[in-house]
Amino acid sequence: MLLQQLVNGLTLGAVYTLVALGFSLVMGVLGILNLAVAELFMLGGYVGLTLMLDGQPLLVGLGAAALFTGLLGVVVERVAYQPLRHAPPIAPLLSTLGFSVIFQTVATNVWGSDPLLLPPELMDARYQLGSVSVGQAQLVVMATAVGLVVGLALVMRHTRFGTGLRAIAENRDVARLLGVPAPLVTSGAFALSGAMAGVAGVLIGLHYGALTPFVGVEVGLKAIAVMVVGGTTSIWGVLLAGPLLGVLEVMTVAFGGAAFRDMTVYGLMILTLLLRPQGLLGRAGGAQRV
Amino acid sequence: MSLLSLSGVTCRFGGITALNNLSLDLPAGAITGVIGPNGAGKTTLFNCITGAYRPSEGEIRLRGESLLGMPPHRIARRGIARTFQNIRLFPSMTVWEHLMVVQRGGGLRAALAPLGLSGPAPRHRAEQALERFGLAPFRDRLATTLPYGVMRRVELARALTAEPALLLLDEPVAGMNHEEAAGVASLLQGLVADGLTLLLIEHDMGFVEQLCQRVHVLDFGTLIASGTPAEIRRNPAVIDAYLGVEA
């Protein structure tokens, strides 16, 4: 039972991790919270699952979701961030909030507010590993998440885009003097952030077997808690906090009751802010930029 | 033949005129010095050249091409690099990564290519810089954990990895002892021998005399004198404003 819950929690945590990385990509570089990420997560889910319900294979669904929300991420950057980049940080925060409300409204009108249910036979294979039963969908979720995280780490460390992005995050002015095209790299960060969230949206739909236009608020915003607990300046922190909060949530529901579910997650976020403001693995002294 | 030319450059911030109608030419392949008291506008001059600030008036040309309104990364790719008075390194990066940040070629394809596959050129340049500045032993160390003198060399190596035509140096020997400064001086002379043009801000007049063919003196944003170091030493206006009367 405990082991089974652990697997379920890790699956949920994998999704949290991806969305949290989507938030922290933009947060790390620009110091702003792009709230639209939560709804790009939801939109990606709808785009990918709609295609899969149409009979397209998983990879097409994931790819289309990534492409769609990646492009929308750039739109968000051009409209909600670029014109406001010299304004106080609250301005882009509010304009991305505006975008997320619009995205949610559009999704409600296009797909309806009733849950989009996946047919039970979609990815219904189960594998028995000792006492633990793992669903095909859970395996897909975890494998995709691990693959994306590894891919992101490689991109950040070994490509010009990645090193440029890290340089901009540390010192934008110096990075530009070294020839890093800051505007292009910034757009790239928004695109990558949107694409990660979009793929995570497909995964959450597969995990729950359903999707609603409100999943961005329910699940996507929890990724902010993950980012805060892990530390906004640390990708490794997010990789630790994502699974941790996923497991914590599932355990809370299993042993404490569903009513406490969100309380533990957001409670841990508040505790982190109070007791360890730099996050679990954040650099000491580097206060979080929320 | 001048590499960089400024004509009538004025830079104002609110009511303050940081640079006032400044005109000067940098001859290619030479070391030019800029001296002056604190707040004279020396660093502002650097910021105007690199595109960090946009002058209120005037023109700045590199090889005849206007740099005004060009974003800093494009000016950098045209061949201008700089170092800072207070060292500015990236805290989370190793020495090697500092050198790999430098970007010359453009395009999406180049941006997404793995560093190892983006052609041997960037890695080769970085390897050369490691050798030249004696940084090979520190290759995989976090740059900001290294001794001060080494950090200065990392900054210099990073600037040179871009293979600039013009290098702007803001007090490159600040905080160094005599021996270290002499090492930097011979290094800079070697770079100039290889065809690099240098513009140097420095307070150490001995260092300036040893290196610079030409010196410009700024005071309150205005150019008050230009000439060889010996001429500058004798210039009454300069002695008044900056050097003081020698005992």
Q: What is the mean pLDDT of residues B185-206?
A: 90
Chain B: closest CA distance from residue A231 (Å): 15
> Which domains are present in chain A?
2-275 (1.10.3470)
- The beta-carbon neighbor of B104 closest among A158, A179, A183 is A179
Model confidence pLDDT, tens digit, residues A122-173 = 887 888 888 888 889 999 999 999 999 999 999 888 888 888 999 998 899 9
Residues B3-24 have a mean pLDDT of 91
* pLDDT tens per residue across span A185-214: 999 999 999 999 999 999 999 999 999 999
Of A170, A178, A179, the CB nearest to B91: A170
- Average model confidence (pLDDT) across chain A: 90
The beta-carbon neighbor of A163 closest among B50, B97, B110 is: B97
pLDDT score of B120: 55
Q: Is the pLDDT score of A290 beyond 70?
A: no
What's the rounded Cα separation, in Å, for the pair B93 and B204? 31
User: φ and ψ at B107, to 5 degrees?
Assistant: 95, 155
User: What DSSP string describes B160-224?
Assistant: HHT--SEEEEESTTTT--HHHHHHHHHHHHHHHHTT-EEEEE-S-HHHHHHH-SEEEEEETTEEE
In CATH, the architecture of B1-79+164-247 is: 3-Layer(aba) Sandwich (3.40)
| Strand B80-82 versus strand B166-170 pairing type | parallel
Does B106 score more than 60 pLDDT? no
State whether B88 and A174 contact (CB < 8 Å): yes
> What pLDDT score was predicted for residue A281?
80
User: Is pLDDT of A118 > 50?
Assistant: yes
d(CA B236, CA A72): 64
CATH 3.40.50.300 domain extents, chain B: 1-79+164-247
Q: What pLDDT does residue A66 have?
A: 97
- B73 contact A CB<8A: yes
Determine the residue type at A227: M
How do residues B153-172 score in pLDDT, each as one tens digit? 899 999 988 889 999 999 98
Q: Which residues of A touch B50 (CB under 8 A)?
A: 177
Which chain B residue has the Cα nearest residue A169? B90
C-beta atoms of A161 and B111 within 8 A: yes
Nearest-CA distance B48 → chain A (Å): 12
Quick check: A197 and A69 in contact, CB under 8 A? yes
